[in-house]
Amino acid sequence: MSSHTRVLGIEGTAWAASAACYDSGTDDVFIESDAYQPDSGGIHPREAAEHMHDAIPRVVETALEHARETHDGPETEPPVDVDERSSSGQQAAPVDAVAFSRGPGLGPCLRVVGTAARALAQSLDVPLVGVNHMVAHLEIGRHTSGFDSPVCLNASGANAHLLAYRNGRYQVLGETMDTGVGNAIDKFTRHVGWSHPGGPKVEAAAEDGEYVDLPYVVKGMDFSFSGIMSAAKQRYDDGVPVEDVCYSLQENIFGMLTEVSERALSLTGSDELVLGGGVGQNARLRAMLEEMCAQRGARFHAPEPRFLRDNAGMIAVLGAKMYDAGDTLALEESRVNPDFRPDQVPVTWRADESDLALGREEGSVRGAEAVVDLDPDAGSATKRRERKEYRHPELDERLRRERTRIEARLTSLARREGVPTPVLRDIDPRQARLELEYVGRQDLRTSLSPDRVRDVSRHLARLHRAGFVHGDLTTRNARVDGSRTYLIDFGLGYHTDHVEDYAMDLHVFDQSLVGTAADPEPLRAALREGYREEGDECVLERLEDVEGRGRYVDDS
Ligand SMILES: C[C@@H](O)[C@H](NC(=O)OP(=O)(O)OC[C@H]1O[C@@H](n2cnc3c(N)ncnc32)[C@H](O)[C@@H]1O)C(=O)O
Ligand SMILES: Nc1ncnc2c1ncn2[C@@H]1O[C@H](COP(=O)(O)OP(=O)(O)OP(=O)(O)O)[C@@H](O)[C@H]1O
Ligand SMILES: [Fe+2]
């Protein structure tokens, strides 16, 4: 018998009825797919489920045939025809396991796939493996790149998030606050009367477009599409050429995704990025990510298109890794989960816990936005927001100038409110340059303790009481000197009196603890204690709300 693992994968979370056969010995991935194409509008869950019902048996049979043809079973095994095999039950199965997408996705579709997978596993008498679709989008990139511990940007229809491995899970470092990125684009194209899916049509139309101003919303590593999408529809209704709207949509939406990816690289210290999901087929998005990585000396990988859009190949590949780790499902525990989040999955197939790479504390430091020249002896830190080559020049100019001004203003304002921050020595908004006092001895990231987190959280409460948010409070944006903590990097801050904004501000800090700490729970408790001491209880209540919010609601 062969020693390598062979898995049959089945995918059907939304539109792609797909089956695949993966052989870990040859690394061959055979995929057979049948796409659902709505007659009008977006994806209708019931129609999509009917499509699964029709198409899944067909694609599974094709993948299974491939598995049988390429199966190098025992030489002594006499050739028997298919019907005889299944009834005799004597022959070795052509695969070691059946893997299927358990979620997230549309409930009616998932149930069809779950039923098919269970039946097949039983008839072949092999184990069942339940795969999280979003983790599969990530793992296929890690598999094809050979990268060790990359940050992953999943840009798909119903989702948009950043994942990084920490403490045996793929932690969500940042995500959309409303819809998935593909769904957002598809809604715009429905508005202008184009058929589903809209992504490729926007990409084609954008080629002839020019830049018009549209909203741009990032909060730490989270982001939102609702404002930009309604502005885009409005522009179109106002008579702005559709090519210009498409072009600008791509520039802003993909600019946002690229910016948060860079933040995640900066925060985790990783120098590897992989892309996943159907929107990853977009050449402009790939070019921006490529450019961003090149500018900061990181490596970028996007799998080939057949592995980016929904496909069973990625399910089979991750299924094989899980099977090898003994991570199989009993039939009675194999229920599907439409809201299955990637951070709910215990990562059983990775033994390594690679530590964060920690940057130097002297000379020139590259953050996500700026290059900072540090001179601890002279007590100065000079921060320059350099041009981002990936970003449209007009948008780039605007963001760098605005953020430099805001950083200067809020850094000083915070200090007047009693929050330790660097003294501002000089500002040149045109060069997007700030000269600041050097504060702290190290980042909070490298010196995490409950006391310090509590202190930082008290600072945050003070800002909120004064009517503004930090906007990007990660463990790299707090500095530590003994028991004293300082806040830096106020460029994403703004004035607001909304409880929701304060809660989001806390949420960003909380997420960065989960993403960077070896043992985050005591720190997360300290975050809440510190805030309770100086801040408003209702913000903490709203924080629970923000966390409990499922972001996989399909409203297409
Ligand atoms: C849960 C699962 O069902 C869901 N699947 C999904 O969204 O299908 P996926 O194949 O990953 O992505 C489809 C999206 O990808 C977009 N898309 C496809 N080609 C594109 C292109 N060239 N540019 C931009 N978007 C594109 C489509 O418009 C559509 O919104 C997901 O992964 O979120
Ligand atoms: N005033 C300062 N005193 C001491 N160190 C500083 C100061 N300002 C910046 N640094 C160091 O430089 C790093 C990058 O600075 P900063 O966070 O302001 O830049 P950035 O590009 O906005 O980073 P990011 O967006 O990744 O948080 C900080 O993490 C910190 O280590
Ligand atoms: Fe997907």
Q: What is the mean pLDDT of residues 171-180?
A: 95
194 and 174 Cβ atoms separated by less than 8 Å: no
Average pLDDT over residues 426-448: 94
Per the CB < 8 A criterion, the answer to whether 410 and 417 are in contact is: no
What is the pLDDT at residue 357? 54
pLDDT surpassing 70 at residue 415: yes
Task: For residue 363, give the H/E element and its range.
Answer: strand 363-366
SS3 state at 148:
coil
Best CA proximity match to 138, nearest among 111, 105, 172, 114? 172
Q: Do residues 60 and 120 both lie within one domain? A: yes
193 lies in a domain? Answer: yes
The CB of 176 under 6 Å from ligand 1? The reply is no
Would you state the pLDDT for residue 351? 77
User: Quick one: 371 and 251 in the same domain?
Assistant: no
Using a 10 angstrom Cβ sphere, with 0-12 exposed, 13-18 middle and 19 or more buried, the burial of residue 134 is buried
Whether 430 shows a pLDDT value over 70: the answer reads yes
Of 109, 156, 552, the one to substitute when testing ligand 1's pocket (max ligand atoms within 8 A of C-beta) is 156
Q: Catalytic site residues?
A: 472
Residue 150 near residue 137, CB atoms below 8 Å: no
Q: In the 3-class helix/strand/coil scheme, how is 56-112 assigned residue by residue?
A: HHHHHHHHHHHHHHCCCCCCCCCCCCHHHHHHHCCCCCCCCEEEEEEECCCHHHHHH
Residue matched to tokens 């900061």: 296
Listing DSSP states for 301-341 in one string gives E---HHHHSS-HHHHHHHHHHHHHTT--B-GGG----TT--
Residue 477 predicted with pLDDT over 70:
yes
Whether 150 and 252 map to the same domain: the answer is yes
Exposed, middle or buried, 230 (CB in 10 Å: 0-12/13-18/19+)?
Answer: middle
What pLDDT was estimated at residue 548? 81
Average pLDDT, the chain: 93
pTM across the whole model: 0.91
Whichever domain contains 30, its CATH number is 3.30.420.40
Select from 255, 289, 305 the last residue of a domain. 305
Whether the predicted pLDDT of 371 surpasses 50: yes
CA atoms of 165 and 169, how far apart (whole Å): 6
Is residue 58 one of the residues assigned to a domain?
A: yes
What is the bridge-based pairing of β-strands 363-366 and 299-301? unpaired
**Residues 519, 516: Cα–Cα separation, whole Å:** 9
Q: Which ligand is nearest to the CA of 367?
A: 2
Euclidean distance between CA atoms 371 and 382, whole angstroms: 8
Euclidean distance between CA atoms 430 and 367, whole angstroms? 20
Which atom of ligand 1 is closest in space to residue 103's alpha carbon? 1
φ, ψ dihedrals at 338, nearest 5°: -60, -20
Query: Are residues 368 and 222 both part of a single domain?
Result: no
Note whether 256 and 382 are same-domain residues: no
553 part of a folded domain: no
Go through 508-542 and write b for each residue having 16 or more CB atoms within 10 A of its CB, e for each that does not. bbbbbbbbbbeebeebbebbbebbbebbeeebbeb
Task: Supply the residue whose CA is at minimum distance from atom 24 of ligand 1.
Answer: 199
Q: Is residue 533 part of a domain?
A: yes
Per the CB < 8 A criterion, the answer to whether 101 and 12 are in contact is yes
Q: What SS3 state is found at 555?
A: coil
Residue 237 has pLDDT above 90, yes or no: yes
- Please give the Cα distance from 15 to 48 (Å, whole number): 6
Do the domain assignments include residue 351? no
What residues form DSSP beta bridges with 389? none
Q: What range does the domain containing 234 cover?
A: 140-305
Co-location of 371 and 512 in the same domain: yes
**What CATH number has the domain bearing residue 482?**
1.10.510.10
What is the DSSP pairing of strand 97-103 with strand 128-132?
parallel
Helix (H, G, I), strand (E, B) or coil at 125: coil
How many whole angstroms separate alpha carbon 250 and alpha carbon 403? 22
State the pLDDT at residue 271: 96
Residue 370 and residue 507 in one domain: yes
pLDDT digits (tens, 9 = 90+) for 47-65: 999 999 999 999 999 999 9
In short, whether 279's Cβ falls inside 6 Å of ligand 1 is yes
What confidence category does residue 167 fall into, taking pLDDT thresholds of 50, 70 and 90?
confident
Mean pLDDT along residues 511-518: 91
551, pLDDT greater than 60: no
Whether 347 shows a pLDDT value over 60: the answer reads yes
Cβ 515 under 6 angstroms from ligand 1 = no
485-510 tens-digit pLDDT: 999 999 999 999 999 999 999 999 99
Q: Mark the binding-site residues for L-threonylcarbamoyladenylate, compressed into ranges.
A: 154-158, 186, 199, 203, 282
In a domain, 354, yes or no: no
pLDDT over threshold 50, residue 295? yes
Residue 153 sits in the same domain as residue 286: yes
Token code pair at residue 291:
């450019």
Residue 40's pLDDT is what? Answer: 86
Domain total for the chain?
3
Do 369 and 328 sit in the same domain of this protein?
no
**Exposure letters 90-119 (e unless 16+ CB within 10 A, then b):** ebbbbbbbbbbbbbbbbbbbbbbbbbbbbe
Task: Tell me: do 25 and 122 sit in the same domain.
Answer: yes
Shared-domain flag, residues 340 and 377? no
Indicate the residue among 290, 305, 320 that finishes a domain.
305
Q: Is residue 252 in a domain?
A: yes
Rounded percentage of the chain residues whose pLDDT exceeds 90: 87
Confidence at 89, pLDDT banded by 50, 70, 90? very low
Q: Is 179 in the pocket of ligand 1 (CB under 6 A)?
A: no
pLDDT score of 554? 42
In a shared domain, residues 196 and 221: yes
Bridge partners of 129, per DSSP, are 99
Which of 303-307, 337-341, 361-365, 441-445 has the lowest average pLDDT?
Answer: 361-365
Is 349 within a domain? no
